[in-house]
Amino acid sequence: MHKTISVYFSGTDFSIDNGGYLASALHRRTVESESQIKMGFNGCGVDYGFSGAIFGSGLDKQCEKVIDRIIQEINAGHQIILNVYGHSRGGIAALLLAKQLGNIDKERLAINLALLDPVPGN
């Protein structure tokens, strides 16, 4: 069975629950089902404070949550289409996630990225 996982990474100081930003609006409008999973993340400055805002701390932890879910679904026998939207520092999180998933068989995982104004940290 094919499953789609849609992941939304907010910009540094943006909350995924604040509907005024594109990542949160997309997250809110994505309907979960048996074949559609959604995951949304606050900006690293929201969850990881000064260190997140200045150095991008916490992006690895956010990516690990997505990777764990993908591996769980692949181990259950599913083929995954991963759609990732990232704004600002969230765009860097999306790139980091794609890089970390580079060793997974392309027959099991397809990755689509939409990045808006990716801004690296340190």
> In this structure, are residues 89 and 117 in contact, taking their beta carbons and an 8 Å threshold?
no
Q: Write the pLDDT tens digit of every residue in 91-107.
A: 999 999 999 999 999 99
Q: Write the pLDDT tens digit of every residue in 11-31.
A: 999 999 987 889 999 999 999
Tokens of 120: 């690296």
Q: Percent of the chain beyond pLDDT 90?
A: 87
The mean pLDDT of the chain is 94
**pLDDT mean over 34-57:** 94
Return the pLDDT at 122.
59
Return the pLDDT at 121.
64
* E strands in the chain: 2-9, 36-41, 79-87, 109-116
